[in-house]
Amino acid sequence: MTADANSALAGTWQRLVLVGMTAGLFATLFGVGGGIVMVPMLTLFVGFDTKVATATSLAAIIVTATVGVITHGALGNVAWGYALLIGLPAVVGVLGGLWIKDRITTRALTFAFAALLALVGIWLASKPTHSGAAVVDLTILRALAVAALGLVAGALAGLFGVGGGILFVPALTLIVGVPQLRAEGASLLAIIPVSLLGSWRQHKAGTVRWGAAGVMGAASVPTAVVGAFIADATPPRALRLLFAALMIATAAQMAVRARRSA
């Protein structure tokens, strides 16, 4: 291998480490998988096409989310019951969303969904923050509502290629009333089965770059731990406003991607 080739390979590994570290921080700070950060960084800085970037980020997220759940769990910031109730139906929803995506043109729907994300972000920022740290009681009706939300969130994630966390967190906070930090911990746990299923499907399609996913997953471990501690120390109102800003930024990113695909 030539010196130029070795230099290029080293540069790629360094960029993958940077992507993983950035994604780890975002994942546990906001309760999202990290794909929101990984996919654009992989396309811009590493040169992956969008399909490979999306599939590879899903595989890396398994590690990132697992570390996030362990750390948030140790801090007492995971609503375990709600995580299972929203995460397991989401797996079924993802399959439905992918099935629909193969059969319709999603460009117009993507613009509509981006607008919806922006509106929900504004709603999240404007709604008063829950003052208590305890998770609301899990009644039968609330459990059914959370399961239905998980199904819908999973379908939207599969249809539009966004991570479940960007949908799980506002669903739990705005509709169910789970405090922001507990919702983020629950979201990370719910993301794990969705990422496992998505990675398996993408592996069969041959779009996962496992070496790159392993590098990013390993690099995300220390920053994922740091992100969880930062989230735990951040005032609830500030954390909610930051998440709302992330939703609006995601909406803008989706709109730009849909426009470029025209």
pLDDT of residue 5: 43
pLDDT reading at 145 higher than 70: yes
pLDDT of residue 262: 60
- CA–CA–CA angle 114, 120, 121 (5° rounding): 90
pLDDT of residue 135: 62
Distance of CA 179 to the CA centre of its chain: 18
Q: Give the SS3 label for residue 65.
A: helix
Q: Residues 76-85: pLDDT tens digits?
A: 999 998 998 9
pTM: 0.85
Burial class (CB in 10 A: 0-12, 13-18, 19+), 6: exposed
Domain residue spans in the chain? 3-260
Residue for token pair 């996919």:
39
Please, which residues have CB within 8 angstroms of residue 240's CB and are 6 or more apart in sequence? 124, 125, 129, 173, 180
Burial class (CB in 10 A: 0-12, 13-18, 19+), 143: middle
